[in-house]
Amino acid sequence: MLKAAGQAFRELFTPPFRAVLLKCVGFTIALFALLIVAIVWGFGYFVQLPDQIETAVQVLGGSALVVGSIFLIPPVTSLVAALYLDDIAETVEKTNFPADRPGRPLPVAQAALTGIKFFLVVLAVNFVALILLLVPGVNLIAFYAGNGYLLGREYFELAALRHLPAAEAKRLRKSNRPTVFLSGLIIAGVASVPILNLVTPLFATSFMVRVYKGLAARAGLRPAYA
C-alpha cells in the first residue's frame, strides 16, 4: 500500500498530471479572484458606512475571505478535477497496467454526480479541519477516522466503477474494508496538509487505481465491460 502511495505521488510530477493540476488550480484561483472582486464591489456599491467603519469592515472581510479560501480552494479544486479524473485513471491504467483491459469512462450523469459527491466530501474534510483549528483539544483520531472512511470509499469506488457494476464494486470495497480504510487514511493525511491538499484528487485517483487493481487481482475478478 505504501509502495502504491509512493508511486502515485511521484506520478503527480509527470506531464499529464501537471497539465491537469495547472488547469484545476488556475481555474479555481480565477474563480475566487472574481468572487472577491464581486463581493468587494457589491459591498462598496450597495452599503454606505462611515469611512472608518467601512475601512475596518473591508480589512476584516478581506482577511476572512483569505482564510476562508484556504479551506474552500481544495473542495472547489476537487469539483473542477472531477472533470478530469476519468482521464487520469485511464492514463494510470495505460501507463502502469498496459496488459489489462482498459476501464470504461463513467457516463456523463454519473461523472457529474461523482464530482458533486467529491466536492461535498472534501468540503466536509476542510470544514472539520477549520473547526479543529478553532477548538483546541478535539480528538484528531475522530477526524482522520471519519475522513479516511469517506475518502477511501469514494475514490475506491471511482476506480472500481470503471471496471465493475456498482453493486459488485461496492461488494469488493466491503470485503476489503481494512485496506480501503487504511488507503483512505493516507488520502486524508494528504488532504489535511495546506497547499499539498490541492493535489488530493489527482493523488487519490492514481493511488486508488493501484489499490483496486491489486484487490481485483487477488479476488480473481475480471472486468465486466469490454
What tens digit of pLDDT does each residue of 17-42 get? 888 778 777 777 777 777 777 766 66
Q: Is residue 149 very low, low, confident or very high in pLDDT (cuts 50, 70, 90)?
A: confident
- What span, in angstroms and rounded, lies between the C-alpha atoms of 206 and 141? 25
Query: Could you tell me the three cell numbers for 157?
Result: 469506488
Q: What is the mean pLDDT of residues 155-178?
A: 90
Please tell me the predicted confidence (pLDDT) of residue 210.
93
Q: Where are the alpha helices (DSSP H) in the chain?
A: 2-11, 15-46, 51-81, 85-96, 108-134, 140-161, 166-175, 177-191, 200-219
60-89: string of b/e by CB count within 10 Å (b at 16+)?
eeeeeeeeebebbbbbbbbbbbbebbbebb
Residue predicted with more confidence, 82 or 211: 211
The pTM for the full model equals: 0.76
C-alpha cell read off for 15 = 506531464
Distance CA 66, CA 62 (A): 6
CA–CA separation, 27 and 126 (whole Å): 19
Q: What is the DSSP letter of 148?
A: H
Q: Domains of the chain: which residue ranges?
A: 2-219
